């Protein structure tokens, strides 16, 4: 039982790669990196063997911009779809959604570059009293807001108030005399 292993089941033994197959694989890998290819004569210039420091710095900078860095455990920038944009807009305007809750002013222009969206996993102990049933669960924040009846009622009331204000101010402007500017 030293380091020797002998298999007595020859019928179950898997076919091993021969030495020639391994050599072919290595040769193909080397040929992929090679500069001289069948269309070598038609090329106007040959690619450099080594890249300059400036080009390497550019490559590294592009790689660094793909993630938020090691401080954020390499968080990647997600692809902004319409659903994500709508969710981020809803989060930005959250102060106007609930009149009884105060949020600090958002000073950021546009959307953040690096962020992640997760789902809350229910605790089995909260099965009966603080759990959202599957029928009420939605995929995005906007869908949840549209399904919320209190939010819709508040929005409808606010919208009608704003439109009434605009109509009142427009009615006052209609009866004013138009003054001509004189120099």
Q: Taking Cα atoms as reference points, which of 99, 62, 55 lies closest to residue 77?
A: 62
Q: What is the pTM of this model?
A: 0.55
Give 18-67 pLDDT, tens digit per residue: 778 888 888 888 877 777 777 778 888 877 767 889 999 999 999 888 89
Q: What angle (nearest 5°) sits at the alpha carbon of residue 92, between those of residues 87 and 97?
A: 90
Write down how long the chain is: 183
> What's the mean pLDDT in 83-100?
88
Compute how many other C-beta atoms are within 10 angstroms of the C-beta atom of residue 78. Answer: 13
Segments making up each domain of the chain, as ranges = 72-147
Q: Which of 7-16, 68-77, 150-159, 165-174 has the lowest mean pLDDT?
A: 7-16
d(CA 58, CA 64): 10
Phi, psi of 59 (to 5 degrees): -60, -45
Report H helices in the chain.
19-33, 53-66, 82-92, 94-97, 141-147, 149-174
> What's the mean pLDDT in 166-180?
74
Give the model's confidence band at 85: pLDDT under 50 very low, under 70 low, under 90 confident, else very high.
very high
Q: Taking Cα atoms as reference points, which of 115, 110, 119 lies closest to residue 139?
A: 119
pLDDT score, position 183: 57
Please give the mean pLDDT across all residues of the chain.
Answer: 82
């Amino acid at each position: 039982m030293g380091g020797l292993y002998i298999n007595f089941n020859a019928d179950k033994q898997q076919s091993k790669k021969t030495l020639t197959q391994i050599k072919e694989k290595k040769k193909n890998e080397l040929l992929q990196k090679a500069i001289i290819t069948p269309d070598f004569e038609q090329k106007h210039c040959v690619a450099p063997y080594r890249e300059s420091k400036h080009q390497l710095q550019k490559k590294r900078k592009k790689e660094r911009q793909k993630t938020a860095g090691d401080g954020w455990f390499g968080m990647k920038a997600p692809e902004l779809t319409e659903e994500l944009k709508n969710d981020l807009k809803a989060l930005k305007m959250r102060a106007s959604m609930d009149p009884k809750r105060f949020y600090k002013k958002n000073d950021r222009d546009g959307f953040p570059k690096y962020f992640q969206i997760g789902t809350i996993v229910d605790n089995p102990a909260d099965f009966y009293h603080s759990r959202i049933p599957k029928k009420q669960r939605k995929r995005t924040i906007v869908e949840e807001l549209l399904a919320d009846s209190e939010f819709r009622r508040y929005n409808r009331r606010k919208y009608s108030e704003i439109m009434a204000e605009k109509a009142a101010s427009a009615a006052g402007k209609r009866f004013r005399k138009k003054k001509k500017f004189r120099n």
